Structure 1
């Protein structure tokens, strides 16, 4: 059974659970996420194992967990002292281009996403703003229309990255570009992120990874719970959703820009996965990139 917990890509590019509580006396879980995870401990004590290293968890700790990084949590809790945490997981590829206008912040983001983290657990004991930022983001998500959640995500992410950049140990520019080894599945997703607009060639991906098409297909399905083609389709639809809500491009043009040769097929897949037609989605979304001044 796969330990990867995929995001529900047809619904959102992130998951945010504020102050979740667990009362089990001994809470233990081994898993990994396809996104970048920020895990903040409000209450609870125990240990987390990441990359064969064990770190002590205590209140006001922040754990940074990279995509596909297996980790094992072991927490002691009770009815009187439950395990309380906030979990924020998001797709790095979704926010990547939003952060590019900020070179220093973007470099730091890429370090968290793909670099070799010196210290994945950080004490936030003296950073009172962080808890406030989590609470405010939770409130904003409850108040605004769900189609504006992307905007809230970007604003929140820029805020906390700016905060963390001043807290984490300083690293050299050379260290910032040093990449950790990627899993095969992550390499497939990186390829899709860069090439989703073009024709999908399984043989090309397999050749790049020095694996057979059969092996890489089954490896991806076993870990992700969906086929490579299904994941590619969702990636294209997510990009189409962004264009529908942020541009005035025609629906046919958007379909072509994200890799669909047929406009009718694009509309069919969009309605099947999103639950409404591209036109309906555009009408229900607020165009927050092109707001009237």
Structure 2
């Protein structure tokens, strides 16, 4: 079995490495001398951890401790974020031995010591999933930009991400039954993100999932606290902001490219979302 060491992937002066991998197919069984977090953005497959099977899809986190063996069997092209870090990344050298044996021996995570051992698979659904995705995207950008203080920023972000994961572990360990409504939503969110620029309706999602438009509408409100329409708007505004900041496209073409033929509506929603017009944001680049 292949054994990966920190030297294979992690820079000695960083103690953490973050990768976003697309079009991934499979991974043979291996183990490693560092801690690994895997977040599934899209696709589906099976993860084997110490010989135990876990089916994974969008919203799932895999927490892989030092020395654990695992491999991926992917059903379709998979996209995921991979966070690798050494046991002492979040603490001082004196705690490294305890951290390598039991992550919850660290003073930082004493509140989660009732977990005893991390659960390999943690499922994020609803609003919690979107919050984790935003945090992971921020971590990836911080790691790649490497601006002054990025190590401290990553240490703080990683602590926050782990606390979110451990809280969800606690809930998951108390009740292993996840409502079908939560497992229904991740593929629908991916469908929205792939088709947001066109006319997309609840009827379209119903065809994708075989649930009724009413049921899907209620699921959005119950799980996220906002409506289907509001989610589509969030996706469109996020992409519009990116294009305003990263391209020289005209505001009108950006408006059309994210699904708004009505320029007035686009300007109103943009200012409502970001507190300024697209032109004002562009001047701040």
Q: Larger relative CO (CA 8 A, sep 6+): 1 or 2? A: 1
Choose between structure 1 and 2: higher helix proportion: 2
